[in-house]
Amino acid sequence: MSYAIIRTGGKQFRVEPGKKYRIPTIVGEAGGSIEFNDVLLGSDGKNVKAGVPTLSGAKVTGEIVKHGLGDKIIVFKMKRRKNYAKKQGHRQGFTEVKINDITLG
């Protein structure tokens, strides 16, 4: 089972071919292809290669499935006895990506 650890959107993800992942929003059309070159670690099932800090020549390719918004969270701030209360909602954007291929350099 091959896998890779990639860095995108300031976060790290362990990805495998054929699976879908929700990552922070990236630019691109739904149905388009995407390539991640920031591969930190990769495995082909037998050997593990670690980069310092990244693997040179390694890439992960996939396709953009859809863009969307996550669940709403409520941010509530209050200061007692000061007549201050503030309620905000937030929905973080995401891009759903299907990983097609992992190439280790």
pLDDT band with cut points at 50, 70 and 90 for residue 45: confident
pLDDT band with cut points at 50, 70 and 90 for residue 105: confident
Backbone angles phi, psi at 79, to 5 degrees: -120, 120
Give the pLDDT of residue 29. 95
Residue type, 39: V
- Quick: pLDDT tens for 58-96: 999 999 999 999 999 999 999 999 999 999 999 999 999
Neighbours of 3 (CB within 10 A): 18
- Checking if the pLDDT of 12 tops 90, the result is yes
